[in-house]
Structures are given as structure tokens and as C-alpha cells.
Structure 1
Amino acid sequence: MLKSSDDPPKSGLSRRGFLTGVGAGAAALTLTPAEALAKVVTTQAGGLATSPDRFGRIFNISPFADFNAPTLRQALMSMGRPGGVIDALDPLQEGPIRLITNPELSPNNLDNAAQTAGITFLGQFIDHDLTFDETSPLGVPTAPEQSPNTRTPGLDLDTVYGGGPTADPQYYNPSDPAKFRLESGGRFEDLPRLPNRKAIIPDPRNDENLMISGMHAAFLLFHNRVVDHLRASGQTGNVFEAARQQVRWHYQWIIVREFLPLIIGQTVVNDIMANGRRFYRPAAGEQFIPVEFQGAAYRFGHSQVRPSYRANLAGNADNTPFFGFIFDPAGQGQTDPVDLRGQARAPRRFIGWQTFFDFGDGEVRTNKRIDTKISTPLFNLPLIAIPSGDAPTALPQRNLLRHITWSMPSGQNIARAVGVPALESQHFPELQQFGHGLPASTPLWYYVLKEAEVLAGGTRLAGVGARIVGEVFIGLLQLDATSYLRTNPSWRPTLPRRTGGTGDFRMVDLLTFARVDPASRGQ
């Protein structure tokens, strides 16, 4: 059974060896922990308000490189290029099925036995709930505080609800506005769509691949079932608002009790909950999304995407499984694409969730490890997967250029500010070829991936990555006057579990309650 672990598995470098190896770098630290808090944490994070509809910073640290250097942009483009040091070099010619059934074909792209494949897309769904940058130019230094975040910076499912049935009636069932509108893709549920197949949902990114559109549809059904549940129990008054609160709180519970322990470790979750946030400390009621989170640390999930997936067990016309690459250029322009891109409708385009979450039937599959190797299909994104619709189409290149956009500090300097051992040059020999001192002053996104690889065997985040992600998630909930963690921290889930009873709630329970689970589909 897949589970979270707080202890890093064995790897080529032991934690003791790591601590010994960073001695020289740690000795160069010029800030004491007290000075780090006083000088490195920004005033925005430390207490002055950063507008919730803008991005901001946690750390007041100089950028990882000299942005005036004429060759820096090209160095980052080379670092993230197809076939380069970050490319897992998956043998795509083997086809989508063999890359799943024969993992030895991709020795650079290891499976993560601690997490199921669905955690990747739950993470993407959550990301879209928190942050959407539609205006800042890629690779051009921009002040975060002047850059709008078009999502609300809270775990409130605004990507699902929009402004509610009065403000955004197009998302809701006209004959029962307390419920969402859904349509059928032929065999099972699909998002409502325009004639051009674009989804009628608040955030178009939730239709960029089949898994994320399937998860969005599952949440629509989950809400509708909660409405039915409340009505059956005699709910009076505004049933929509009562259902929305139930859905949000159960979703937030899953994040705190299932998602976070898997991606940062239960020990870090416990430390933040018991001892408080040390670095993400915005003024009460003034949540904001820090660029260290949005532009780097929370992009760890890109490393967990598999080249291909089994979308379902019996989607094809002959009742065989539908396998596909996450993205495949051959799918461009096809009505029923061969890959798993979104913005399409066909009978086989639904998700069999037993591949993605553990229903105890032996069908679940894992995601990939958090490391510095990215699945090859992500180096050639279709334009529908890029909200701005512009080049480059290699996701790692886009992530690295985002460090220039936000004038991001190096991972090493943030590690020193946080007070954890910093990875140093010897951990990044592959970056020497790109110059600009990148092995000793590494872009934060790449640093977080390497940190997870070295300290946690790729099973979860560690050090800087775990601290940033954990504090932001928990902080957003603690600062939200409508969250269960702020309003009623002793609250326990009230909806039934698939195994019976109440008091806990996991993704398999949500999918079962929404009736998109294997049993409801006769699988």
C-alpha cells in the first residue's frame, strides 16, 4: 500500500554525508537565525499588507544571478531545453503502454512508490485554485506586488464555483441553480462545453488535460451530491451556500490530512501546526501568494508527471483500456486525440479513478519521483496547455525564465535564511556547463527538485521546498475567516466514508460520494 514516509529512503548520498558535505557552505553563512528573520523576511511577509489580488514575496534576498548578463537567458534556455540535463529522455517510440508496463525503459524517470498517480493532478487542481498569473511577461523582471493574481489566494474552490449561481449562472443548472451544470461525454460525465469544445468553467486551465478536467467534473458531481444529501436531511434556507461550505471544508481537510503529509511529510506538517509559521506571516486577513511558492517551490509537481497514463480500464470501443501520452503532437487537431490533452469529447475520454487513487483493488499506479528529471512530453507542450499561448513550449524553460520574471533568490540563500543545510556546488555538477555560478547559486525551482532527490529520495519535498509549501498552505487556511481551520479547528468531516462512518475524509471518499468511483461505474 502506498503511504507517506517522514524518513528519506536510501539513496546514493546519505543524509549524514550531505551534512558533512555542506560544512564549507554552512560556514559561509553570514546571517544568524535572528538576523535572517529580521533582514531576510520581507515586510510584506512579516506583517505589512500585500494585497490579496497581487503576488508578493517572503524573502528579501538578491536574485540568484546577474540579470544584466547578456547570456543568462540563453543559459537558462539551454538548461531547460529538450534533450538537455533536465529531460528524462523517455523513449517515446516505445509507446504509452510500454512506458507504464516496462518502467526500466526510462531509467532516468523513476517511479515514486510513496504516492499514487492522482496526487499529481490533485496538486494541479489545488494550484489552479490558488494562483493564476495572466499578465507578467516571461523572463522580464517584474514587481510581484504590481502583478495581479486572478484567483483568490485561498483554498475556496473559486475555480469551481466562480461567483456563484447569481453572478455566474452559466456554470449552474438552470432548472436547479443550487446545482452545477454537467454534460455527458458519451459514456460518462463531461464538463459542459461550447460548440467549439471549450469548457464552460471559471478557469480554462482545468481543461488542459483529461485528468484535470475529470477531477473538475468530479467536484461538480460532489457538490451536487452534497446538495441532495442536505435536502434529504431536511436542510432549510440557502442549500447552495450550505453545500458549498461542506464541499470546501471537506476539500480543505483532504489537503491538510492527506495531501500535505504526502508531499512535505507529517513531521513538517506537525511542526508548523504546533509551533507556528516562521516565514510566511502576512497580516491577518491579508493572504497573498508569494512568488517563491508560485514560481518555484510548488512547481515540484511537474517532476511527478508521467509520460503516459492509463486513463481508464475499458474506455475503448472494444472495452480495452485507453492509454495515452500526457501530450503527443500527433493529437493536434484530432476530434478524439490519441493523447490525454483536454478540450475534446468522445466516449472514451473519461477517467477511471482506480488507476489514480487506491481503492484497494490493486489497480492503482504511482506518480514519478520529485527529482531533476522531467518527463519528455513536457518539453513539447501543446499551446492549449499554455495560458498565454506563446513560446517556449518546453515547460522547464518556462519555469526557469520565471525566475527572471520574479527576480528569484537562489535555493542556497533561502536555505541559509531558513536555517537548514544548503546544497552546494558538488550537488550540481551538471550545471557547471551553463556558467553564471549556477552550481553555487541555483534557480529555486531546480534547487527544490534536487533537494527532494538528495534528502528524501524523491518521495517528497525536503528542507526549503517543504518549509515554503507547508507554511503557505497552512497559512492560507489559518488566515481565511471562512476555512474550517480558522473558524472551527475541532471540526471533523460529516460526510460518509466509502468504508462507513464519518470523522475522516480522503480523496477516495470524495470520489465515491460523487459516484465516479469504480463500483459506481461497474468496474
Structure 2
Amino acid sequence: MAVPKVAEASTLQTSGTEARDAVQPTAPGFRHFLRTPLPSQRFRVFGIDPLESPALQPRLRGLMHRLSRRMDAEIYWPQHDDEAAEHWENPRIPSGYTYLLQFVAHDLVHSAIPLSVAGTLGAGTANARRIPLRLETLFGSGPVGSPHIYALDAPNDDRRTKLRLGRMRWKENEPATGCPFRDIARTGAENVTGIDRSIAGMRVALTEALVADPRNDDHAVMSQLTALFALLHNSLIDHVRRQERSHGPNDRFGAAYKRFLCVREAVTAIYHDILRKDLMQRVIHPTIYAAYSGPTPNFIDRPDQSAGDSATGDWQIPFEFSHGAFRFGHAMVRPEYNINDLSNQDLYNTLEKTSANDPVNMPLDETWMIRWSHFFRINGSKPNFSRRIGPYLSDGLGNDQIFPAFDETERVGLLYRDLLGAGLAGMWSVDALIAELAARRPHFVAMSRLLFDRDYRVSQLREWLAAAPAYGKLTDEDIETLSNDPPLPFFILFEAMRQPGAEGLRLGPLGSIMVSEVIFGALAGDLRSSSGDSLPDQLADLSREHYPANFFQDVPDISSMAQLVEFTAEIAELKQAVPAFL
């Protein structure tokens, strides 16, 4: 029965005093979910804590290598009622949300060196984000702090309020013939090494993406999503400018500053509404979503320094989220994409299409201009669907050119990096984390036998790990340690796969709790977003903070990505764009 099992699980918890006495190396900008786990509560490999025994690292790397190989075995999902969808596809989540999740991740975490590559916690793995979900990944430090990503408003005018964009190009013509501005801005750069990747007499290599966060040029879909948000911002800048009273030359800078701040806040409010009402509703377990999406959620993860580091006031992100639960988005990546009416592209080509990897073929040409009805459901369109969520990644994420080997295992791909990073972060073990949650929210844990019944959980993991012996060649010892102490990002995927009646269509309860705590927690920390007001009311209040009237009265109540795309097409005059925008 559920209740006795939950009560039994809760006996694994320890007192807050004991936990505070635990010493663990960390990295600036990060913390642990709930609190720092004791050594006995941390993830272990063959019964040994990797943080306490650095000599264990080769065995940790070997085990994560073999587990990643086991996860190469394709999952045989049940067929959908709608036979038009492939069994591995997720009709609930169009593929545009895969990349909105990546955009959100960039808005929450920015580290100089991945933990898996760094091999240890330290300054190189610090999180540079100090305020969550404020679109720093798009706006950087603003026109003064990040002038390279902003365009001059007019000739002989040093004001900058619009984000830079670049012209698309046509395959057979020079980039200047591409119209309108549909790509992120890109440029060439002098190189002191003398290396020039241009094609002499034909094309200049545009090696530099002029964006606030270089990861927003990680691949063609990401750069196109970044351009979409930039188009929204720039169009709203024009919308506000047209309603301003004329200013004399000495007032222009103040007017531009006010306009930028007002529109940035408006775009952020729209973004927050979409996260709250669209993205999270699609990926979170419905019971968990109902508990967190209301005006006054009862958060579990509120340590003493929840507003930030007690010394600096900075916000900190839990390792268990950044290196654990939120890695689930990697499993949603498709093996190929229908970009627009002109082209289908496989995942490798999509990942390779960046200024760093393919500078002589930049800016993006017409075959890479996303038709957004192929990525979100707009006016009844059938978009590319994301993959179901489970312990399997598309082959392109294992490409040795995009994700090369970096250690003695010679394992290539993103999956191994995810697993190894989790093993090096000193995170909660799955058992101890479930026990903590059982003590604090027993009704959440009681929802899932995979959570409340440890014997069942271990048996299910053991059965799956042993089911494909040709993949990974896991030993009996490997299977026992992984079934009793699974790495958190792997378990989140396993839990999603094993949900009765919703196999892989959304996160399970544990993954949903952890994602909800961070995303809704960050939104709750934003006074405007947490006010409970409708988006139109938020925008009206925002406009009147800067202007005598509501300049946003023509902005609809945008609560989904489909509505954002449709509004951007209208306000940016892209309804008749070629290639098609909608």
C-alpha cells in the first residue's frame, strides 16, 4: 500500500542540522535542491562517493560510458491512436518546444566550461546567471553593456534600442539580396593567427554571431528562435516609438532609454506568460502542474538563502535541476526536421549550421528560414513533433564532430556528457531525494509506485538495464549499482518512459516536481509575473509606468508560442514573407 511505503521512505531523511554540517565543494551560482545532501545521501558508484574518492573517477567514467551505450538501444513505444504519428513521436509537444526549453536553459544557466569536461567543480563551472528568466540570454547587459548586439537607431544617432538582425541570403546570390532580416546578425573578424576561412573571391566567412549568448547559435533552429524573439522586440520598439510624442535632440537619449526598458519588460512579460501557461502545461504531470501553476504555489525548495547567495544576494540554481532533471529536453530532439516548404534537414546538418562550424555558408539561406507552423501548431497545422521522453537520444546527438570525445573512454556524444556531469556534481541520490520529498509532500510521492515502492523501482530498473545486453555490455555489478543508485538525469527519463498511460508524453512526478520548483519558483520571484494579473493588465500597468497612456492596448493576450508567432508575423509585417514565416 502507498501510505506505509511513503512513511518508510521518509525515515531516510536526516535533520537540517546534520545536513548543514556536510561539507562539499561547489561552484559559484549553484547550490543543491532543498539543501546540501550529507555524504550518505549523495549519488554513489559501486557504493563509493565520487567526491570523497577522486581515485574512483576512472570507474565512474567507465560506468557512465557503459550506461550511455545501453541507452543507445531504441525504445519500442506503444502505437498512438492517431496512426499519422510515428510511435516515437509525441503529438502533445510540437518540436518547437524542444528548443524553447533549450532557450529557457540558456536563460537559467551559463557556465564557461561544462562540468563533464572540466572534471571537477570550480570557478570554470560557475553559473554566470544571477537573475533567472529575465531574458539575459537575449538582451545581454542591454545597449550600454552589450552594444555589439544592438543596432544604431538611425544614421548620426548613437541610440541603440533594437537587437541586431541579419539578412537571410538566397543560395545563388550575394547575402545583400536576402530580404527581410530573418537571421541573427553575423560578421567576419580579423584573426591574429592569419587563418581565414573565407572562399577567396566568392564568400567571406561570417565566423562571429552577434548575439548575447553564443549558445543561441548552437544550431539553425536555435538561431532562428533567437531571431523570432528579436523580431518581436524590434517590432514592439517601433510600435511604441510611433506613439511617443516628438522629442528635441537633447531628449532623444532619455526617450530611447525609456522605450527600451518598457519594451524589454513587455517581451519578458509575454515570455513568462508562455512559460507558465503553455510550455510547463505541456511537459509537466497534470497533478503537479495544477499544484504549481496557481497564484500561490506551496514551494518545497525554499532554503534560507532562496533569494540568493547570502553573501552576494545572487540567485543560485540547483545542480539537481541544471545537471539532472532539466536534461530531459535532449531526449525530445528529433532525428530530422521539416524546416519549411523547401527543405527537410537531418539532425546533423541542423546542428552543424552555425557561424562556428559553417561560416562560409552564412547567413542562413532560404532553405533554413523556419516556417513556424512546422514547429508549433498554428491554424490546424501538423508540425514536426518532438520525441517521446525516455532514456534514448537521437543519433545526431552522438555525432563525433559536434560532441567529440574528451577523456580516456573516447566516448562521443551528448548523452555521456550528461551522465558524467551528474556523477561529478555531488547530487542527491534518487533514493534520498524521494525520501525527502516523501517527508514533505507525501501525496506527491504516493502518486507513483515507481517512487513510493523502492523494491519495485529497483526491480524495474534492473529489468530494463539487463534487457539489451548487446548495448553497453553492462556487467552484473554495473546493473546492481545502477538499479540501486541510478544517476538522476537517467532516472528522470526512465520515470517519464514508465508512466502508466502516458509513456514518454510528459515528465513523471519526480521530474515534474523538480522542474516546477525551479521554473515556477523563478517566476514567483518576479513581482510582475507573480502578481496574478492578466497579461493585458500587466502590459497596461507597465506602459503607464513610462508613458501617460497604454501603448500596448493593441497587443493581444499572448499565452502560447503559436500566438506569439502569429502576433510577430502581424506586427513585423511577415504574413506574406517569402519563404513563408507562418
Both proteins in one fold, TM over 0.5: yes
Shift of 1:326: 1.5
Q: Report how many aligned residue pairs link the two structures.
A: 462
Tell me how far apart the structure 1 counterparts of residues 424 and 331 of structure 2 sit (CA, whole Å).
21
Tell me how far apart the structure 2 counterparts of residues 249 and 40 of structure 1 sit (CA, whole Å).
41
Q: Partner letter of residue 181 of structure 1?
A: R
Name whichever of 502-511 and 149-158 sits farther off. Answer: 502-511
Do residues 301 (structure 1) and 358 (structure 2) align? Answer: no
Residue from 178, 187, 190 that aligns with 2:161: 178
Name whichever of 231-240 and 418-427 sits farther off. Answer: 231-240
Partner residue of 1:292? Answer: 320
Tell me how far apart the structure 2 counterparts of residues 277 and 42 of structure 1 sit (CA, whole Å).
20
Partner residue of 1:278? Answer: 300
Matches within 5 A, 1:159-178: 159-176=137-154, 177-178=160-161
Partner residue of 1:521? Answer: 577
2:273 aligns to what SS in structure 1?
helix
Structure 2 unaligned spans of 5+: 77-82, 155-159, 170-177, 189-204, 246-253, 309-314, 439-444, 467-473, 541-553
Tell me how far apart the structure 1 counterparts of residues 214 and 320 of structure 2 sit (CA, whole Å).
24
Tell me how far apart the structure 1 counterparts of residues 379 and 15 of structure 2 sit (CA, whole Å).
46
Partner residue of 2:560? Answer: 506
Residue from 42, 50, 60 that aligns with 1:72: 60
Shift of 1:64: 3.2
Partner residue of 2:9? Answer: 29
Q: Partner letter of residue 178 of structure 1?
A: T
Judged with a 3 Å threshold, the aligned counterparts in structure 2 of structure 1 residues 202 and 451 are, in CA distance, closer, same or farther, namely: same
Partner residue of 1:374? Answer: 393
Shift of 1:194: 1.7
1:174 aligns to what SS in structure 2?
strand
1:166 aligns to what SS in structure 2?
helix
- Asked if the contact 1:141–1:407 (Cα under 8 Å) also holds between the matched residues in 2, the reply is no
RMSD, aligned CA: 3.8
Judged with a 3 Å threshold, the aligned counterparts in structure 2 of structure 1 residues 447 and 384 are, in CA distance, closer, same or farther, namely: closer
Residue from 219, 226, 248 that aligns with 1:209: 219
Tell me how far apart the structure 1 counterparts of residues 102 and 351 of structure 2 sit (CA, whole Å).
24
Residue from 471, 478, 481 that aligns with 2:524: 478
Instruction: Give per-residue Cα distances to partners, 1:180-205, cap 9 Å, x unaligned.
Output: 11111225511111224331111111
Do residues 112 (structure 1) and 90 (structure 2) align? Answer: yes
Tell me how far apart the structure 2 counterparts of residues 334 and 175 of structure 1 sit (CA, whole Å).
25
2:162 aligns to what SS in structure 1?
strand
Partner residue of 1:393? Answer: 412
Do residues 222 (structure 1) and 232 (structure 2) align? Answer: yes
Q: Partner letter of residue 239 of structure 2?
A: H
Residue from 86, 107, 110 that aligns with 1:129: 107
Residue from 266, 271, 274 that aligns with 1:246: 266
Partner residue of 2:71? Answer: 85
Judged with a 3 Å threshold, the aligned counterparts in structure 2 of structure 1 residues 430 and 284 are, in CA distance, closer, same or farther, namely: closer
Tell me how far apart the structure 2 counterparts of residues 148 and 218 of structure 1 sit (CA, whole Å).
29
Shift of 1:163: 1.0
Shift of 1:362: 2.4
2:484 aligns to what SS in structure 1?
coil
Name whichever of 506-515 and 462-471 sits farther off. Answer: 506-515
- Asked if the contact 1:55–1:146 (Cα under 8 Å) also holds between the matched residues in 2, the reply is no
Judged with a 3 Å threshold, the aligned counterparts in structure 2 of structure 1 residues 330 and 404 are, in CA distance, closer, same or farther, namely: closer
Partner residue of 1:463? Answer: 509
Name whichever of 124-133 and 432-441 sits farther off. Answer: 432-441
Instruction: Give per-residue Cα distances to partners, 1:474-520, cap 9 Å, x unaligned.
Output: 1112224xx5234x332424679xxx973343212222232279834
- Asked if the contact 1:264–1:461 (Cα under 8 Å) also holds between the matched residues in 2, the reply is yes
Tell me how far apart the structure 2 counterparts of residues 141 and 502 of structure 1 sit (CA, whole Å).
48
1:183 aligns to what SS in structure 2?
strand
Tell me how far apart the structure 2 counterparts of residues 30 and 330 of structure 1 sit (CA, whole Å).
44
Q: Partner letter of residue 502 of structure 1?
A: P
- Asked if the contact 1:129–1:152 (Cα under 8 Å) also holds between the matched residues in 2, the reply is no
2:419 aligns to what SS in structure 1?
helix
Do residues 446 (structure 1) and 456 (structure 2) align? Answer: no
Structure of greater Rg: 2
Instruction: Give per-residue Cα distances to partners, 1:361-397, cap 9 Å, x unaligned.
Output: 4232311111112111111153389999x97531110
Shift of 1:148: 1.4
Judged with a 3 Å threshold, the aligned counterparts in structure 2 of structure 1 residues 218 and 397 are, in CA distance, closer, same or farther, namely: same
- Asked if the contact 1:42–1:57 (Cα under 8 Å) also holds between the matched residues in 2, the reply is no
Instruction: Give per-residue Cα distances to partners, 1:327-365, cap 9 Å, x unaligned.
Output: 15996999997xxxx976323221111111111242323
Structure 1 unaligned spans of 5+: 1-18, 45-49, 91-100, 314-320
Judged with a 3 Å threshold, the aligned counterparts in structure 2 of structure 1 residues 360 and 330 are, in CA distance, closer, same or farther, namely: closer
- Asked if the contact 2:321–2:514 (Cα under 8 Å) also holds between the matched residues in 1, the reply is yes
Do residues 193 (structure 1) and 176 (structure 2) align? Answer: no
Residue from 53, 63, 85 that aligns with 2:43: 63
Tell me how far apart the structure 1 counterparts of residues 224 and 244 of structure 2 sit (CA, whole Å).
31
- Asked if the contact 1:56–1:145 (Cα under 8 Å) also holds between the matched residues in 2, the reply is no
Shift of 1:234: 3.3
Do residues 327 (structure 1) and 348 (structure 2) align? Answer: yes
